[in-house]
Chains A and B, each alone.
Chain A
C-alpha cells in the first residue's frame, strides 16, 4: 500500500472511499435503519434496567440509614409522649427528634418529622441526609403539617442517637429500640440483586443481537470490500473507516437511546419508587440521577466490542480458531465446568462465573447441536421434502446463530425471572401470612408486666369465642456447642402458649409432632439461616446460654425466614429463665367476636397506660402484598421488553436471511410445487426452528431459576426460596416462540409472491450458504 498515495489522491480517501463504503447503505437504507434501531432499542432497554437498579440501590442505601433500628425515649410510666416531654428532654440537653405518626380520617398513614432536629443524627451521615431531604410527599411530611391533619389516631415518638445513654436522661424516662417497619430489608436487597443480574443478562443479549445485525450487513458488503481491495485499498484502511462508521453510528444512536431509557425509567420509576416507599415506609426512590456519561460509555463499549470484536481479535484469530470437534468439545467442557461450579461453588463470585460458563457453553453448543440434529434427521428421512427441510434447518441454525442464541437466552431469562418472581410472590405471601397470622400486634410497654396480660387472656380463653393469642418475647442467646470458634449470638423468638397462631407456620424440615414437643418445652426450632450457617439439622442438639444459664435443646424443625440475615431460635417462652434479658415483648391477638376494643381497654387497665402501641396486621399485609405485586409487575415488564427485543431481532434477521435465500425457495416453485406448498414448507421450517429454540431454552431457564433461588440467594442472604416450576408459563413461552416463527413465515410468504433474483454465485454472500 506504499504506492497508494500516488495512485489515489487524498480526496479519494477523504470523500470517495467513505462514499463507496456507505453506498451499501444508500442501496439498503433499511439495513442501516435496522442497525440504528437495534442500537437505540438495546440502549433504551439496558439504560432503563440499569437506571432503575442503580437508583433503587442508591435509594435503598439511603433509606436503610433512615429506617435503621435506632432508639427512642419512652416514659417509664407508660403514658404517651407529648410536646412537654420533648421540651423537658431538650432542656435536659438530650438530643431528640420528634417523629409523629398520624392515621388520618381518610387516606394512609403519615409520618411527620422535624428536619431541623435531624442534626441529632450527625451531619453528613446517611441518616441525617435521608431525613434532611425535602419532605414533599407521602408518607413523610413536616411535623407541623402532620400535627394539623384531622386524625383518627396519632402518636408521638422521640428518637435519639445511639450515643445517648440511659444515664443522660432525666428521671422518669428510659431508652427503647425503635423500628419503623417490619425488617424486610433483605427482601428488597434480594430483589435488587436479581434486577442487577437481569441487567447484565440484558446487556449480553443486546450485545449478541447487535453483533448479529452488524455481521449480517458486513457479510452483504463483502463484495464491495473485495472490489475496493482490487482497486488497491488496503484492508486496514477499510477497517479504519468501519471503526469510524460504527463509532459515529453508535454515538448518534446511543445518546438518544440513553435519553429514552432514562425517560422510560422515570415513567416506570414512579411506580417503582411508590412500591419501595410502601414497602419500607419511607421514600426510597432517589429519582433521576445525573450520570449520563457512564451509560453512554458502557453502551459505546458494548457496540464497539459486539460489532468490531473480530477486528480487535483479528491477529489472534489463527491461534484462537479451533476445528469444529474441538469447538464442540470446548463448549461442552465449559458447560459441564459451569454446571459443576454452580453446584459446588463456595462463594457468590464463583457462582456468577459458573453462570457465565454455562451461558457461553450453551450458547456455543445450541446452534451446532440443532444443526447436527437436523443433519442426522435429514440422513434418516425417507421423503425428499423432509430431507430438504432438515438440511435447510441446519443452515438456518448456523446462519442465524447469534439471534437464535439471543432468543434462547431471553427466553431462559424470562422463564427464570417469572419463576423467581412468582415464587417470591407466593413465598412472601405465605410467609407474611404466617408471621401476621394474628389480627393485631400489641407492644407490651416498658416497665409493664407481660405475664399479667397473659393471665387475663388465659382466663378469657374459654369464655370468648374465637380468641387466639400468644405472648412473644424477644432477646438474644449465645450458641455455645456448635463446634466453631467463638460463640455466635442468635436472636431468640419465644412464644407462649404454643397455640394455633404459630402452629400454622410452614416448616422446611421437622421432627415428629414438632409443635407438641415445642409446647412441652423439650426442644427448639431454628430459622433456615441458622441451620445453613451452623450446618444444623433436625435432631441435632444445641446448647444455648439463656440469661447466663446454659440449656441443651434438640432441634425440632427448621422454618423459612426471609426477611433477616441473623440466626434465630424459636422456643417456648415458659423455658426462659427469670434472668433472661427481655429486649422486646409483645402480644399477638386475634380477638374473636367481641372485637379488639375490650382487649385493649383491659390491657390498658392492667398495665396502667393511656394508650397502646398496636398494629393492625391485616392492613400491613394488604399494603405489603400490594407493594410487592407492583414491584413484581415491573420486573415482568422489563423481562417482557427484553423478549420483545430478541423476538424482533430474530424476526428481522430471519426475514433478511430468508430474503437472500428467496431464489432457492422459488426453485421449489419452478420444480412444480405450488406457492402454497412452499409457504407451508417455510412455515414448518420457521416453526421447527423457533419451537426448537424455545424447547432448548427450557432447561437453561429452569437451571437459571435453580441457581437464583438455591445458590445465589442462599450465598447472598443465607436463605433460599422454594424451587417451583410453572409448566403453564413454559407453554406460553413456547406459543410465543412459535408465533415468532409464524411471523417470519408470513413475511416470507409475501416475499415469495415477488419475482426472485437469481444469486450471482453460490457464495456465502447471496444466500447460497449450506
Chain B
C-alpha cells in the first residue's frame, strides 16, 4: 500500500430544498494513495461534483473527516475561518482542479494563464511555455482562450495544473464537452502526465471507458442507491 494522500472517513453532505433535506453524500469513506487515481461515477445529481468540492474545501461537509496532504479537516468544527484558510492554501499549492470548460481566464493568453497559475502556487513560471509545448499547443501560447478549440483549451487547462506541480488533481468531467477523438487525446495526456509526476487523480465522469483507466472506482449512484 502506498502512502496515503487522502483519507475520507464518514463524510456526509445534504442540501436543503424548501422544507426538505436532500442527502447527497452519506457516510462515505475511502482513501487514495500517492500517485493513485480514482474514478467517481454515477448518474447526474449523484453527488460527484459535490464530493470534488468537499475534497478541495469549496464546500464544507456536514459530518466526517478529510485528511489531505497531512492536514486533518473535521466537519462541524468551529474554526471555520481557519479551516477555509487552510483549504485555500492547499488549493493554491497542492490541488489542481479541472472543470469541463472555462478553466482559463478569458482576458489572458494561454501562456499568461499557465504562468499565472504557477506563480499563484509559488512555482517557477519559467517552465510554463514548456508545459504548453509538452501538451502540443506551444505554438498557441499567445492566443486567447476564445481563439482556440475546446480540446486545446482543455490541454491548456492541464498545462496550468501540471505547471503548479500538484499533489492531487480533481477533474470534473474534463472531457465532457469534447468529441470522442479529442476526449481520448486529452485523457491520454492526463493519465500519462499523472503517472509520470506521481500525483493523485480523482476523476468525476459519466464515461465508463475513462473510468476504466483509473486504478480505483467509486460509483456514487450505487452507493446512494444502497
Contact = CB atoms under 8 A, between A and B. Distances in A.
B112 interface: yes
Given A672-B91, A673-B120, A768-B146, A384 B115 contact: yes
Interface in B116-149: 116-117, 119-121, 125, 144-146
B88 A672 contact: yes
B9 interface: no
Nearest to A669: B58
A675 B107 CA distance: 21
A674 interface: yes
Contacts of B95: 672
B105 interface: yes
A387 B115 CA distance: 11
Interface stretch (B21-29, B70-78, B96-104, B181-189): B96-104
Interface string B29-69: 00000000000000000000000000010100000000000
Nearest to A677: B88
B80 interface: no
A751 to B, nearest CB: 16
Nearest to B97: A670
Interface string A637-664: 0000000000000000000000000011
B101 A762 contact: yes
Contacts of B108: 387-388, 391, 770
B92 interface: yes
Nearest to A766: B102
Nearest to B84: A674
Contact of A667 (B103, B115, B146, B153): B103
A765 to B, nearest CB: 11
B212 interface: no
Contact of B116 (A387, A394, A669, A761): A387
Contacts of B116: 384, 387-388
A674 B84 CA distance: 8
B105 A664 contact: yes
A383 B119 CA distance: 8
> In which size bucket is the chain A interface?
20 to 34
B99 A758 contact: yes
B107 to A, nearest CB: 4
Q: Chain A CB within 10 Å — which of B88, B93, B103, B104 has the most?
A: B88
Interface in A713-770: 758-764, 767-770
A401 to B, nearest CB: 16
A578 B104 CA distance: 93
Given A388-B116, A762-B145, A672 B92 contact: yes
A395 interface: yes
B65 to A, nearest CB: 22
A392 interface: yes
A316 interface: no
A663 B58 contact: no
A672 B120 contact: yes
Interface string A466-491: 00000000000000000000000000
B112 A387 contact: yes
B91 A770 contact: no
Interface of B: 56, 58, 84-85, 88-93, 95, 97, 99-108, 112, 115-117, 119-121, 125, 144-146, 153
28 contacts: A384-B115, A387-B108, A388-B107, A391-B108, A392-B107, A664-B102, A664-B106, A667-B102, A669-B88, A670-B58, A671-B117, A671-B120, A672-B90, A673-B120, A674-B84, A674-B88, A758-B99, A758-B100, A758-B101, A761-B101, A762-B102, A762-B104, A762-B146, A762-B153, A767-B106, A768-B146, A769-B106, A770-B106
